Amino acid sequence: MCSKQLFLFPILIFVVACLCVQAQSNNKTFTSGAISFEYPSTWRAYEKTSKPVQQVNIVPDQGNALIMISVYGDKINDEWEFEALKEQVVKTRVGKIASGFASFTEAGECMQFRNKKIPGQMIKGMYGQEPTTNSSFSLVIDKKFIHLLYLRENRIGAVTDEGWKTIVGSLRIKGGDPKGAIMYDTDSDESSKGKAIKLPFPPLTAAPKFLREIPVRVEIDEAGNVISATAPRIIDVDYTDAAITAAKKAKFLPTIICGEKTKVFTTITYVFHSADN
């Protein structure tokens, strides 16, 4: 009896291994340009690249759905560049999709990406004769701006959602760090930006000869504390230093994004009035 059990044991391992290989083979791999990802074998991926934008469309063999991945060539170095490009891209791409809806409602939603919850925008309404949903997310991976768009008929959403999760879960920038920093939208319907609860005045003893406005970019941690502050030193150094000193002592309520406390950036603008004003 024991010998039979020992004989069957490697057979069971072989059967389980075969099942695992078969399950893995249900996905295809796309790799081109800056990105790579996996997608279900029952979907098709085709590239529509026009520099500086790499665009990949993925559609299922059956059912009306579209997943669009757009990767922009220019490097994104900070949140200001991200916000500027996001405004341009979302307005163009999502606006074009929205124009196809007879009527729709808008709401925020969240997407799990790596260990982060990324906020985005959702529109729901009648697209042609079918109730349809479109999801839009913008983020930066390894300094590459990526826009994800997921359009699907509601009646097949339960099926196509699995394809969406497979693609998003395996999306990589080629040559990038799989655990690298991610930049994403902190100003959406799924965001609750922390209000300032303490804004100290800059330590100055004399007013400037002319009005000065100094924007200070601050990084705020999950608890609402300022952990860094910078400003362009193109104005009077004394007033810039005073603004930075005050900004570092500021305190905010935590910013909540997709239900989680999140590190964010914002700008505090200090206005120094002249003695005549």
Q: Is the pLDDT of residue 220 over 70?
A: yes
Q: Which residue has the higher pLDDT, 150 or 239?
A: 150
The confidence score (pLDDT) of residue 73 equals: 86
Distance of alpha carbon 34 from its chain centroid, rounded?
17
Range of lowest pLDDT (34-38, 156-160, 182-186): 182-186
- Residue 122 in this model has a pLDDT that exceeds 70: yes
pLDDT value, residue 125: 95
- Measured between alpha carbons, how far is 121 from 132 in angstroms, rounded to an integer? 14
C-alpha–C-alpha distance, residues 233 and 236, integer Å:
7
Query: pLDDT tens across 21-38, in order?
Result: 444 558 999 999 999 999
Q: Is the pLDDT reported for residue 5 higher than 60?
A: no
- Considering only residues 186 and 15, tell me which one the structure prediction assigns the higher pLDDT: 186
For residue range 56-70, what is the model confidence (pLDDT) as tens digits? 999 999 888 999 999
DSSP string, 162-197: HHHHHHHHH-EETTS-TT--EEE--SSTTEEPPPEE
Query: In this predicted structure, which of 117-131, 200-214, 251-265 has the lowest mean pLDDT?
Result: 200-214
- Domains in the chain (CATH in brackets) are 26-184 (3.40.1000.10), 193-272 (3.30.2420)
Across the range 109-132, mean pLDDT stands at 89
Q: Under a CB-based contact definition with an 8 Å cutoff, are residues 162 and 26 in contact?
A: no
Q: Is the dihedral of CA 175, 184, 49, 75 positive or negative?
A: negative
Structure confidence at residue 256 (pLDDT): 86
